[in-house]
Amino acid sequence: MSASTVDAHGDELWLRHGSADSRVEAAQVGVPAQAATALAGALTKWQADTTALFGRFVELSEAMRTAALGYAQTDAHNAARIAGVGDQVTADNLGL
């Protein structure tokens, strides 16, 4: 899975949860006061949960990008080392 895929999932979560939040807010108008209070409390918790989940998606995608950069740097370093060793090999070293 790529970091951009994780970003896309995070964005989708944020948008879909935001849409659900809007529907809950709109529903509060037509319900009894106690129910509206309960919905408001639940909505506050859900919004906090969404923020935490979205933050985790951001952390994961950043970690994936950092890991990919580290991998690329290690790969380039090792390729240079292998090329350096290859430059030292002659037909005499190979017993040819």
**pLDDT tens across 68-90, in order?**
999 999 999 999 999 888 777 77
**pLDDT tens across 14-67, in order?**
999 999 999 999 988 889 999 999 999 999 999 999 999 999 999 999 999 999
Largest CA distance in the chain: 92
Question: In the chain, where are the structural domains located?
Answer: 3-65
Q: What is the model's pLDDT at position 41?
A: 94
List C-alpha distances in Å: 52 to 45, 63, 79, 86.
11, 16, 40, 51
pLDDT higher than threshold 80 for residue 96: no
pLDDT higher than threshold 90 for residue 95: no
